[in-house]
Homo-oligomer: A and B are copies of this chain.
Amino acid sequence: MPADDFIVTPWHVEGEIDYDKLIKRFGTEKISNQLLNRIQEFTGDLHFMLRRGIFFSHRDMSVILNEYLKGNKFFLYTGRGPSGHTHIGHLVPWVFSKWLQDKFKTKMYFQLTDDEKFFSKPKLTLEETKKFAFENALDFIALGFKPENTKIIINSIHIKTLYPIAAQVAKKINFSNTKAVFGFSNETNIGMIFYTSLQSAPCFIEDKPVLIPLGVDQDPHFRLTRDVAPKIGKPKPALIHNIMIPALQGPGGKMSASDDNGTVYTTDSPEVVKKKINKYAFSGGQPDIEEHRKKGGNPDIDVSYQYLRIFFEPDDNKLKKIYDDYKSGKMLTGELKAILIEKINDFLKVHQKKREKARDQLDKFLLENS
C-alpha cells in the first residue's frame, strides 16, 4: 500500500480513505443533490445522514425509486458480522434503514453472518459468533423495528433457507472472481471462498427489488451479486453506502469490534464511555489551552465532533454551533468530549433498556425456517 493510499475490503480497512477516489475505484455513484431532492419527494424530509453525506454513494438508487413509483415496492436488507458486541458504528446503517423502512413502508431483512466471522477470525468458534449474533440482534431490535415487517436471519440457523439460493449464486462465481474482488489467495480457506454467496442470498429471498444500506466496505460482495443477478434471472440489488465510522483513535481505519479501546460498545457503562472518550478519542485540539484559544481546534479530524456529526447530534443548528465554537477556540476539547459523553450515555441509557426488553421479542423476529 503506497503511503497516500488506502485499503477497503469487507475484512480489512486501512489508511485514510479518499471517498471520491473510492467511488471511482469501486465504480459506484456519488449521491448527487439531484438524487437527494428526488428522495425528498418521497420522504418529505431528508435524514441527517443523507444531508451530511454520511451516506455518500449508491448503486441504482434511481432504479429503486423508479420501480417504487410504478408500484414495484422494494425490500430492505442489511446485516452484521457478529465478531463481538455491537459498537455505535454498526448502528449507522441500521438507524438509517429504520428511517427508510418508515418512509417507504417496506419489509426489512437483517442478516447476522456468524459463519463468516467464524471463517475469517482464526480464534473465534462458531458457538461464539452465534452467541454474538443473538447479542447483536438485541441492538438491532432495540432501534424500534417491528416483527411484523422485519425478519432477522442468522446464517447458521437459517442456512436451509439461504443455501439453495446461495447455491444458484455460487455456481456463477469462480475462484478468479473472488481473487479479483476480495484479493483472496490460494491460502484462503474454502469457507471464506464460498461465503460471499451466502451474503448474496437475502438479495433474492423475495421476488422484488432490494435496497441495501451498508458500510461501503461491504460493497465488493454485492458487486459480485450484481454480476450474477442477470445470469440467474434476478434484478440487481441496489445499494446505498455509508462512510466508515472512525475508531476512537482517529482516522486510518474503521471502528472495529475487535479493538476494545478503539470502540464504544452499546453495552458499555456510563463510566466506561466517559473513560474511553476522554482517554482515547482522537482530538483536533491544540496541545494546550492557550494555543487552542488562539488557533482553535480542527473539528474535521476530531473524533468526538465526528461522532456527533455522524450519529449523536441530529440537529444541524446545534451541530453547527459546536463546529464553529470548536473551530474558533471558544470550545475546548474537554468541553466537546463532555458533550459527546453526555449524548452517548443518554442514548445508551435508553438503548440498553430497550435492548434487554428485546430478549423476549427475539423469537418473533427470527425468520421462519423453510
Contacts and interface: CB of A to CB of B under 8 A. Distances in A.
Interface of A: 115, 118-119, 126, 156-157, 159-160, 163-164, 167-168, 170-179, 184-191, 193-194, 196-197, 369
A163 B197 CA distance: 14
Given A156-B163, A170-B119, A175 B196 contact: no
A115 B188 CA distance: 22
A160 B119 contact: no
Nearest to A120: B171
A200 to B, nearest CB: 11
A163 B193 contact: no
A171 to B, nearest CB: 5
B164 A189 contact: no
A143 B177 CA distance: 44
B167 A190 contact: no
Number of copies of this chain that the complex holds: 2
Nearest to A196: B190
Contacts of A194: 170, 190-191, 193-194
Contact of A118 (B159, B171, B177, B188): B171
Contacts of A172: 189
Given A171-B191, A175-B190, 19 more contacts: A115-B167, A118-B171, A119-B170, A119-B171, A126-B168, A156-B164, A157-B160, A160-B369, A170-B190, A170-B194, A172-B189, A174-B186, A174-B187, A175-B185, A178-B190, A190-B193, A190-B197, A191-B197, A193-B194
Contacts of A188: 174-175
A134 to B, nearest CB: 15
Given A156-B164, A160-B160, A163-B156, A189 B176 contact: no
A186 B197 contact: no
B156 A159 contact: no
Given A184-B175, A187-B176, A190-B197, A167 B119 contact: yes
Contacts of A191: 167, 170-171, 194, 197
A186 to B, nearest CB: 4
Contacts of A164: 126, 156
6 contacts: A119-B170, A174-B190, A175-B184, A176-B187, A190-B197, A193-B193
A119 to B, nearest CB: 6
A189 B163 contact: no
Contacts of A173: 189-190
Nearest to A177: B190
A176 B189 CA distance: 9
A286 B191 CA distance: 55
A171 B189 contact: yes
Nearest to A170: B191
Given A160-B160, A191-B194, A369-B160, A176 B171 contact: no
Contacts of A115: 163, 167
Nearest to A179: B186
Nearest to A119: B171
Contact of A175 (B156, B160, B168, B186): B186
Contacts of A196: 190
